[in-house]
């Protein structure tokens, strides 16, 4: 099942793709979302970020199998950094090098705490594409990552949520201005999705719509204003965002 959020004259609406059209639904977190409103042709709607998280977490040092030598850790990103497809990544002057990072993003279905491995599938609504934009030169200046991770548009998500996806081996491709600059797979991550959610919910509660960026297996590339970043994950689609100066 494919879920999304669209802009309408009445405000943002959750939708489900059925028979080639986006149908408005009452509760996208339901096992079988009920159609409650009009249907929209895909070419006529603006897609928004498919989730409205209260919590956004990114897994640190989770880009290669060797990272298992380090403990699993995560950083937080402000939900205000979340934008949807075609919304700009805004680069402030003086940040230094800014990278886009293509990642598989997990969207949480229900309130969860202290998950066991067998609990994880029922806690996941689905998967979308995440772009963990990072001002890499700011990391050395601020180990809390506020300066590096929290710029406007620094967490593009989209274009939609796929509920039926095996996260274990999802190819990822990153393109800048149409040129492929990085390719890898989620199988290269040190900590898989189940391990990540078990670890994270040991320390905090996650709830419906919250997002976990699962890690960057060398799927990063520098960008600058005027570029367009495109991230493709097999089984989901392509997330595309322009890069602009403030």
For 197-236, the pLDDT digits (tens) are 999 999 999 999 999 999 999 999 999 999 999 999 999 9
Domain span(s) for CATH 2.30.30.370 in the chain? 2-47
Cα–Cα nearest to 73, from 61, 55, 85: 61
* DSSP class per residue in 2-19: EEEEEE-TTS-EEEEEET
List CB contacts of 140: < 8 A, sequence separation 6 or more.
none
Q: For residue 122, with 0-12 CB atoms within 10 Å meaning exposed, 13-18 middle and 19 or more buried, which class applies?
A: exposed
Kindly report the pTM of this predicted structure. Answer: 0.97
- 210 within 8 A of 130, measured Cβ to Cβ: no
pLDDT of residue 37: 80
Strand partners, 47: 6
Check whether domain 2-47 has CATH 1.10.10.10, yes or no: no
- 80 within 8 A of 55, measured Cβ to Cβ: no
Domain span(s) for CATH 3.90.850.10 in the chain? 56-245
> Mean of the pLDDT values across residues 232-243?
98
10-31 residue pLDDT tens: 999 999 999 999 999 999 999 9
How does residue 142 score in pLDDT terms, banded at 50, 70 and 90? Answer: very high
- 4 within 8 A of 22, measured Cβ to Cβ: yes
Cα–Cα nearest to 51, from 13, 1, 5, 120: 5
Cα–Cα distance measured from residue 51 to residue 5, given in angstroms and rounded to the nearest whole number: 7
Cα–Cα nearest to 157, from 92, 238, 90, 36: 238
50-90 residue pLDDT tens: 999 999 999 999 999 999 999 999 999 999 999 999 999 99
Q: Which helix (H) or strand (E) holds 199?
A: helix 193-200
**Segments of 85-236 assigned E as strands:** 89-91, 98-108, 124-131, 134-135, 155-162, 171-176, 179-185, 211-213, 220-223, 228-233
Residue corresponding to tokens 């403030």: 246
| Mean model confidence pLDDT for the chain | 97
Q: For residue 148, with 0-12 CB atoms within 10 Å meaning exposed, 13-18 middle and 19 or more buried, which class applies?
A: buried
CATH architecture of 56-245: Alpha-Beta Complex (3.90)
């Amino acid at each position: 099942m494919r879920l999304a959020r669209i802009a309408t004259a009445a405000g943002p609406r959750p939708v489900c793709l059925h028979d080639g059209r986006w149908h408005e639904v009452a509760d996208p977190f339901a096992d079988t979302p009920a159609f409650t409103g009009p249907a929209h042709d895909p070419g006529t709607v603006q897609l928004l970020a498919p989730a409205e998280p209260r919590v956004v977490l990114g897994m640190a040092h989770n880009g290669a199998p060797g990272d298992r030598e380090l403990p699993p850790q995560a950083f937080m990103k402000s939900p205000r950094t979340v934008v949807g497809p075609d919304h700009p990544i805004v680069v402030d002057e003086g940040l230094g090098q800014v990278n886009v990072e293509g990642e598989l993003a997990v969207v949480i279905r229900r309130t969860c705490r202290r998950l066991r491995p067998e609990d994880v599938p029922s806690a996941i609504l689905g998967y979308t594409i995440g772009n963990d934009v990072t001002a890499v030169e700011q990391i050395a200046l601020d180990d809390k990552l506020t300066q590096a991770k929290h710029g406007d548009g620094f967490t593009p998500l989209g274009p939609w949520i796929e509920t039926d996806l095996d996260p274990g081996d999802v190819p990822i491709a990153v393109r800048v201005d149409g040129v492929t600059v990085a390719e890898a797979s989620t199988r290269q991550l040190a900590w898989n999705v189940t391990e990540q959610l078990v670890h994270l919910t040991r320390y905090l509660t996650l709830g419906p719509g919250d997002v976990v960026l699962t890690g960057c297996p060398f799927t990063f590339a520098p960008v600058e204003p005027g570029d367009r970043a495109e991230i493709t994950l097999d089984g989901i689609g392509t997330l595309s965002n322009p890069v602009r100066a403030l």
